Structures are given as structure tokens and as C-alpha cells.
Amino acid sequence: MMSRVLVTGAAGFIGSHLVDALLARGVTVLGLDRRRLGEHPLAGENLATAVTNRLFTPYHLDLATDQLDDVVKGCDTVFHLAARPGVRQSWGGEFLDYAQANVVGTHRLLDACTREGVRRLVVASSSSVYGPADRPSREIDPTCPVSPYGVSKLAAEHLCLAYARRPDSRLSVAALRYFTVYGPRQRPDMLIGRILFAAYTGFPITLYGDGSQRREFTYVSDVVTATLGAAHLDVRAAVINVGGGASVSMRGVIDEAAKVTGRQVPVKVVDAQPGDVPATAADLTRAGRLLGYWPTVGLHEGLARQSAWLVNLSRDRLAAFTS
Ligand code: NAD
């Protein structure tokens, strides 16, 4: 049973959905993020409902630099979703931030969990730890990240597993490899939101390459279901894929978005980018066996829900799509 939990990255896209789901189950939630709610408009919007709930307390902390013991103390479960996401920017000078947030931040959180006797950590890993694959990736497949972001996520995953496997450890770890997540509150740099935005505004979507790249798109409520389930897993250290059940090409998503919105999607084609694998697809056998997980929201339904959310967006959120 969970009674008091910490969610890192609580003000982000997936973290805020997880916070809402935990609060709906009557769990006391401490929400940690380096974005300050009053100052970062998207963070404030993401947690707008949560902050009205007396079971929720936000903490403005940076995992890489701030003291973490006080916020970890007394938590039975830590959901670690905080990270610097995104493949493209990770090649440049901003890698230092990826290393700080994803690697140093994870290490410092693990140290605090160890000192405070936390028993369970669920960490958001990523499909980007796999390299190019010509069939659905299984957790036992060799990892071979092809971007600095993927390298940082694999390092974070290994750190968590190493802490769980220490002979004297009381901490058990479930590392969930999420495959491209979408839905309301999706980060403005991500593809599906940009496609829907293009359909409604005529502001063209930038397509990297010929659009044949395939991605396993996973609706955010399915990701939350798997993440909550992983908190109850009876294993010391596990790695589990969390996918949407089907892999679809970029062109396929654009066509589906046109059907959902009843509008054309203007496209600007540019060269493929380093770090983008031709395809991602998840083998969900282990997720089914350990978590009883199978995705419930298909691409058409998920696009319809994200589209319904998008048409009511705030000025701040809309501005983020064009920046
Ligand atoms: P997001 O950027 O919306 O949320 C991440 C949050 O973490 C942000 O609010 C950010 O401020 C916070 N954060 C970053 N560094 C921090 C630090 N040092 N200290 C405190 N807070 C910090 O991203 P998201 O899309 O919701 O992703 C959540 C998690 O899921 C990440 O770990 C990401 O790597 C992983 N993931 C996401 C996807 C996806 O498709 N969105 C796919 C695979 C894995």
C-alpha cells in the first residue's frame, strides 16, 4: 500500500498526470520539480488541479544541487520522472545539463533514498536506450543508445539498478522504458502536439527525414497505469518496456491527425537528424507478465483526446509551439 510518495518531475508532462492519478487514489503526494510553479506557466497549468488538493505539497528543488533528505524522509515510494528530455539538443553544449539532471540528479536522489530507508523507486527510463532495431525491442536485448540523451537515460537506469542490487540495499527498483508518450500537456517540442497545432493553425510541422520513421506512441494514461502498477511489483530490480501496442510511421500519424481534426497538416521536410533511430517498437511480454499491463488507448482515440485539449489552450501554451 502506498500512503506517502515523492514524485520527481511533478510539474512536467507525465509527472503531473501521475500526481493527479495518485491524488485521486487518496495518496499523500510530495511533488518535486526545479520549475517554480508561479514562474513557469506550463508547470503552473500542469499542476493547477493538484495544488488545490490538501494531499499535495509542491517542492521547488533541483535534484542536482539541493539537499534532498528532508523531502525523501518518510516516503514509502519514490517515482523518479525528473529529467532533461529531448534528443536533438543533447548533442550540443547543453549536454552538461543532461548530465547534471539525468545522471548527477539521479545519483543524489538514490543516495538520499538510501539514507532515509526508502523501500521502492520507480524510475522513468526510455526506449532511447535501445539502438536501431528491426523487431520489437525486448528488455534482454543489448542496449545501444544513439544520442547523448539516450546515454544519460541508460546511465540513470544503471545507477538505479546498481543501488537496488547492493547486498545491503533495502531499496527495490522498477525501471520503466517508456516509448514516445503523448496526450494532453505533452511537451511542446514533441511531435504529436506539433502535428495537431499545425492542423489547427497552418503553422507547418517540421518533418525530419522522409516520414517513414516509425515510433511506438503510448497514451499518457496507459503510462500512468503501468507506473502505478510498478510500485507494487515484488522484485528487487526490474526493467520493463511500457509501449502503446503498435508502431506507426510519422506519415501515418500525420494522416491520422488529418482524419481526427478534419484538416490538412502542412509539412516542412528537412534532413533527418542524428540520434533519431529509424524505428522504435516495444515487446510488451514482460509488462503483461509482471504488471498485467496492456495499453488501452489506441492512436485514433488518443489523438482525439489530445486534440480536444489543444483547442482550449492558454496563450502561454500556444506560444510554446512556435518557439
Ligand atoms: P517534462 O520535461 O515534461 O518533465 C520533466 C520534469 O523534470 C520537468 O518539469 C523539469 O523541470 C523536471 N526536472 C528536470 N531536471 C530536474 C532537476 N535536476 N531537478 C528537479 N526537477 C527537474 O518531460 P516528460 O516528457 O514528462 O518526461 C518525464 C520522464 O519520462 C523523463 O524522465 C523522460 O526522460 C521520460 N521519458 C519521456 C518520454 C516521452 O515521450 N515524453 C519517453 C521516454 C521517457
Q: What is the mean pLDDT of residues 63-92?
A: 96
Q: Where in the chain are the domains? A: 4-322
How high is the pLDDT of residue 243? 98
* Least confident span in 46-55, 145-154, 312-321: 312-321
Cβ 13 under 6 angstroms from ligand 1:
yes
Distance CA 290, CA 316 (A): 40
Per-residue pLDDT at 72: 98
Hey, which of 81, 121, 239 would you mutate to test ligand 1's pocket, going by the most ligand atoms within 8 Å of its Cβ? 81
pLDDT of 278 higher than 80: yes
Query: Which of 290 and 312 is assigned the larger pLDDT?
Result: 290
CATH 3.40.50.720 for domain 4-322: yes
Distance CA 148, CA 211 (A): 23
Compute the mean pLDDT over every residue in the chain, rounded to the nearest whole number. 95
Name the pLDDT band for 314 (thresholds 50, 70, 90).
confident
C-alpha cell recorded at residue 8: 520527481
Instruction: Classify residue 12 by burial, with Cβ atoms within 10 Å: 0-12, 13-18, 19+.
Output: buried
Taking 80 as the threshold, does the pLDDT of residue 88 lie above it? Answer: yes
To the query of whether residue 59 is one of the catalytic residues in this protein, the response is no
Q: Residue 82 pLDDT > 80, yes or no? A: yes
Local confidence band at 40 (pLDDT 50, 70, 90 cut-offs): confident
- Best CA proximity match to 113, nearest among 32, 169, 57, 65: 169
Distance of CA 64 to the CA centre of its chain: 19
- Residue 250 CB–ligand 1 contact under 6 Å: no
How many angstroms is it from 82 CA to the middle of ligand 1?
4
pLDDT of residue 50: 97
12 CA distance to ligand 1 middle (Å): 6
Q: Mind listing the pLDDT tens digit for each residue in 146-201?
A: 999 999 999 999 999 999 999 999 999 999 999 999 999 999 889 999 999 999 99
What local confidence, expressed as pLDDT, does residue 43 receive? 83
How many other C-beta atoms can be found within 10 angstroms of the C-beta atom of residue 227?
27
Whole-number CA gyration radius for the chain? 19
CA-CA distances (angstroms) from residue 182 to 25, 126, 189?
23, 14, 11
- Residue 255: CB partners within 8 Å, gap ≥ 6? none
Alpha-carbon 31 to chain mean position: 15
Give the active site residue among 149, 163, 219, 293: 149
Percentage of the chain lying above the pLDDT 90 cut: 86
Distance CA 249, CA 164 (A): 37
From the CB of 126, is ligand 1 less than 6 Å away?
yes
Using CA atoms, how far residue 15 sits from 236, 304, 315, in Å, is 23, 22, 22
pLDDT of 300 > 80? The answer is: yes
The residue whose C-alpha atom lies closest to atom 44 belonging to ligand 1 is 126
Nearest protein Cα to ligand 1, atom 9: 12
DSSP letter, residue 166: S
Q: In what order do the strands lie in the sheet with 172-178?
A: 56-60, 28-33, 4-8, 77-80, 120-126, 172-178, 237-242
Phi/psi region, residue 18 (left: phi>0; alpha: psi -120 to 50; beta: rest), is: alpha
Interface pTM (ipTM) of the complex?
0.99
- Mean pLDDT in residue range 53-62: 98
Read off the pLDDT band of 218 (50, 70, 90): very high
- The Å distance, Cα 188 to ligand 1 centre, comes to 13
More confident residue, 252 or 40: 252
CA of 85 to the centre of ligand 1 (A): 6
Using 50, 70 and 90 to split pLDDT, how confident is the model at 273? confident
Region 46-67 average pLDDT:
97
Q: Ligand 1 centre and the CA of 84: distance in Å?
A: 6
Cell numbers linked to 116? 532515509
The predicted structure's pLDDT at residue 42: 84
Look at residue 312 in the predicted model and tell me its pLDDT: 82
pLDDT at residue 323 above 90? no
* DSSP structural state of residue 134: S
Residue among 153, 60, 143 at smallest CA distance from 101: 153
What DSSP string runs through 75-106?
A: -SEEEE------SGGGGSTTHHHHIIIIIIHH
Q: Mean per-residue pLDDT for 114-123?
A: 97
* Residue 11: strand, helix, or coil: coil
Which residue puts its alpha carbon closest to atom 27 of ligand 1?
A: 14
Residue owning the nearest CA to atom 8 of ligand 1: 12
Atom number, ligand 1, closest to the C-alpha of residue 180: 40
What mean pLDDT do residues 41-56 have? 93
Cβ of 11 below 6 Å from ligand 1: yes
User: Kind and range of the H or E element at 66?
Assistant: none
Residue 37 has pLDDT above 90, yes or no: no
Ligand 1 geometric centre to CA of 247 (Å): 22
**Is the CA virtual torsion 270, 136, 7, 55 positive or negative?**
positive
| pLDDT tops 80 at residue 285 | yes
Cβ(9)–Cβ(78) under 8 Å? no
